[in-house]
A and B are shown apart, each in its own frame.
Chain A
Amino acid sequence: MIAQGAELRAPVARRTHTLVVGSGAGGAVVAHALATAGVETVVAEEGGWFRARDMSQRDDEMLPALYRGRAQQLTRDGMINVLQGSCFGGSTVINSADCEPTPEPVYEHWRRHHGLALDAAELRESQARVESMLGVVPIDATQVNRNNGLLLEGARRLGWKTQVFAHNRAGCTGSGYCLIGCAYDAKQGAHLNYLPRAVEAGADVYTDVRIERVVPRGGGGFLASGAVVSRGARSARLPFEVQAERAVLAAGAVHSPAILDASGVGRGLPALGRNVSLQPQMSVAALFPESVDVVAWRGIPQSAYCTEFDDHTAEHGLGGFRFEGISGGMSQVASGLGGFGAAHKETMARARHGALALLLVPDAPSGSLRWTRGERGFAPRIDYRMREEWVARLRRGLRAAAQAYFAAGAREVRFGSEVFEPLRGEAELDRALAFPIRTGVTHFLSAHVQGSCRMGADPRGSVVDLDHQVHGVPGLYVVDASVFPTSASAHTMIPVMTFADRAVRRMLARSAG
C-alpha cells in the first residue's frame, strides 16, 4: 500500500514491527529487504510521490516539489546550497544517476583511522546486489553529449586521464532533465525498483508524513510521532504515530540526526550532528565560439569526468579534485552565472555555445548541524568551515578545469563568483590561484552531504556502531549518508545503498539469531 497524505482524513496510529523513516537510497533498500523477508514494515516519507507523468521539466515547479527546502537549503553563511531530494525515492529521483562505489582506499581509511572492521567480501556482495537491482551499466559513448564531450576533449589534449560514468538509466531519451525528475522513467531510482517491490512484498508506505521524534519506550520498542503534512508548504495537517519494535532512520544526513536530537537520544553522543562533510562543488562555465553549438541542456547532463587529479589514499581517504560535465535548467544556470543586467543578458544570449562543469573537491569533515523545530518541521542550521588546504585544492582545481576548457577551444571561462572576472585565455590561468571566497558573491553547491551520525566503535566519537545501531539504544538504527565517517565517494547513491544492504542483512541476521 502507498498512502499519500492527501488521502488521509483522520489521525493515524499504527503498530508495526519496523518503521523506516525516509524512502531514499538508504530507506528504500532497507524496506525492500525487510518486507521481502516477511517483516511487517511501515515507511514514512515526508515528501510527496511524483510519477513520470508529474515531471513537468520546469525548474520552477519541480525544484520546489522534489528537493528539501524547495532546493534552497543553505549553509548558515549562505555560501553553499545543500541539495537533497525529499520525495518518494529521495535523492535517487533527482540525482545525476552516476554510479560510483566507495573506492577501496576510502574503506581502508575507515578501517585504519576510524576503527571500522569492514569486510571486503561482504561489501562487494552488497554492492553487486545493489547494482543488479538498479541495472547499472556504463554510459555508451554515443550518449556523451557535446557538453561533456568538450570536457573530455580538452582533458585528453592535455594528456589527462578521463572516464565515462556508469549509470542506472534504461531507455534514456536524452531529454536532459535528470536533475528535476525523469518524465520517462528511464532513470532507475529507488521509486521504480526497491520501493514498489517492497510494497509488493507487503510494506506500507506513507508519503507526506513527517516523523519528528522516535522515543524509546519503557517496555521496549519505540513510539514515533509526527504529522501528516500538506504537499508543498509541509504544514502539519494531522497527527501521525507509529509504535514499532525497531526504527530505522534514513532521513538523510541533515534530518536523521535532527530526529535523534529531538527524541532525546543525542544526550551522551557528543558526535551527533558533527563531522559533517559537504563536498562543496563549484560551477565552471566555458564560452565557446559561435561555431561550436554545445546545447548543454540536451542529453545526459553528467556523463564524463577527468580523473587525472583524483587522489584517494588509505591515509586521508577521498582526496584531490575532479571536474565533471553537468548541465541544469536555464533558471539554475542563469542564477549561477556571475553578474546582472545587460551584461548578464549578453552572456545568456550565447547560452547555446556554453559548456558547464562542476569542480568537486572532497573535504575532510568540518561542518556541524543544529536545528530548530517549528510548525513546518526542522529548520537546520548548517555551519561549515573551509579549511585552508581545501581552499588551495579548490583553486588548483579551478585552474585545471579552465585549462582543459581552453585546450578544447573555449574563449572564456567563468567560475561561481559575482566578482571574479572571467579568464580569457591560458595566459590568465594563474589568476585562478587567487580566486576569492566571500559570502554573498561566491557560490557553491553540495549534493553529497555526509557525516553527522558517524559510524564507529566509541560512543565518544561516533553515533552508530558497525551495525548502524545507535550507541546505547538497541533497536534504533541510522542508515543513510550520515553514518559515513568521511566522504565515501564523489557520488553517494551506490555507497549509501551498499551500506544499507549490508546493514539490513545484519539486522535480519541478528533477528534470526
Chain B
Amino acid sequence: MEMPELSRRVFLRRSVQAAGALALLPGLAIGCAGEDAAGRSPPGLVVLDASQWVVLDAVADAFVPAGGAFEAGARSVDLATRIDAFLAGERPDVLRGVGAALVVLEWLAPLAAGRAARFSTLDLAGRSAAVDALRTSRIGLLREVYAGMKQLCLFTFYACDAAWPAIGYDGPLVGRAEARG
C-alpha cells in the first residue's frame, strides 16, 4: 500500500489543538494499518475509523507499555477506545488534527527513526524508537505531533481508575462515606 499523498499544506502549522497536531486536508484517511483493521478494532467507535484505531492502539502502547514499574498499560485499559470516546466532544478541526497526527505517526515516524515500515507493524522497541525520533526531531511539526499524542495518551490513561493504585492515588472523594459533603 502506498503512502497517502501528504501535500505541503498538510504540514503548514495551523490551529494546534487538543492533539497538539496539525489539521488534515479534508477527506484524507490513514489508508493503512493493514486490510484487516476492521477485524482488529472494536465495534462502536465514535470518531475514529478502524484504521485510525489500530494506529492509535499501537501509539498508546508505546507511550504507556505494560509492565515495568507497574503492570497496567494502555492495552490493559483499552486506551485507544477510551481516547475515541474522549474525543467525541471535540471540534471538527481538532479531530482532523488527530487524524493527521496518526498519519504522521504511521508513515513518517518510523522513517524518522530509520525504519522503513509502518508504525503499526513495528514491535514495541521499534515504536518507542519512532516516538523518540519525533520527540528529538529538529522539525517542529514532528515534535508537536509527539507532544499532542503524548498529551492525549497520558492524560486519558491516568484518568482511568485502573491506573491509580500503582501510583498511590486513591481517587475522588465524592461519594465516599468518610468525605464531608
Contact A340 B63 (CB under 8 A): yes
User: B153-181 toward A: CB 8 Å interface, digit per residue (1/0)?
Assistant: 01111110001101111001110000111
List which A17-73 residues lie within 8 A (CB) of chain B.
52, 55-60, 64, 69-70, 72
Number of interface residues of A (CB under 8 A): 52
Q: Which residues of A lie under 8 Å from residue B63 when comparing CB positions?
A: 340-341, 344
CB distance from B91 to the nearest CB of A (A): 6
Q: Is A511 an interface residue (CB 8 A)?
A: no
A177 and B172 CA atoms in complex are apart in Å by 9
Chain B contact-residue range equals 35 or more
Q: Is A330 an interface residue (CB 8 A)?
A: yes
Contact B155 A74 (CB under 8 A): no
List which A343-377 residues lie within 8 A (CB) of chain B.
344-346, 348-349, 351-352, 374, 376
Q: Which residues of A lie under 8 Å from residue B15 when comparing CB positions?
A: 76, 379, 381
List which A203-223 residues lie within 8 A (CB) of chain B.
none
Contact of A59 with B155 at beta-carbon distance under 8 Å, contacts A345-B68, A345-B69, A376-B91 already known = yes
Q: Which residues of A lie under 8 Å from residue B70 when comparing CB positions?
A: 345, 349
Contact A342 B69 (CB under 8 A): yes
Q: Is B20 an interface residue (CB 8 A)?
A: yes
Q: Which residues of A lie under 8 Å from residue B150 when comparing CB positions?
A: 335, 340, 418
Q: Is B57 an interface residue (CB 8 A)?
A: no
Contact of A418 with B147 at beta-carbon distance under 8 Å, contacts A76-B13, A334-B155 already known = yes
CB distance from B163 to the nearest CB of A (A): 8
Q: Is A441 an interface residue (CB 8 A)?
A: yes
Q: Is B102 an interface residue (CB 8 A)?
A: no
Contact A55 B174 (CB under 8 A): yes
List which B68-90 residues lie within 8 A (CB) of chain A.
68-70, 86, 89-90
CB distance from A255 to the nearest CB of B (A): 15
Contact B159 A351 (CB under 8 A): no
User: B31-72 toward A: CB 8 Å interface, digit per residue (1/0)?
Assistant: 000000000000000000000000000000011110111100
Partner of B154, one of A52, A331, A374, A439: A331
Q: Which residues of B lie under 8 Å from residue A183 when comparing CB positions?
A: 173-174, 181
Partner of A344, one of B90, B141, B144, B154: B154
A344 and B16 CA atoms in complex are apart in Å by 24
Contact of A440 with B20 at beta-carbon distance under 8 Å, contacts A78-B148, A330-B167 already known = yes
Most central of B67, B93, B159, B163 by chain A CB within 10 Å: B159
Contact of A440 with B167 at beta-carbon distance under 8 Å, contacts A59-B155, A74-B20, A77-B13 already known = no
Most central of A184, A334, A345 by chain B CB within 10 Å: A345
Shortest beta-carbon contacts, A-B, top 9? A440-B143, A57-B172, A78-B16, A60-B159, A349-B69, A342-B68, A72-B18, A334-B158, A352-B168
> Measuring CB to CB, which residues of chain B are less than 8 angstroms from any residue of chain A?
13, 15-18, 20, 62-65, 67-70, 86, 89-91, 93-94, 128, 131, 135-136, 140-148, 150-151, 154-159, 163-164, 166-169, 172-174, 179-181
> Measuring CB to CB, which residues of chain A are less than 8 angstroms from any residue of chain B?
52, 55-60, 64, 69-70, 72, 74, 76-78, 173, 175, 177, 183-184, 232-233, 295, 297, 329-335, 340-342, 344-346, 348-349, 351-352, 374, 376, 379, 381, 418-419, 438-441, 443
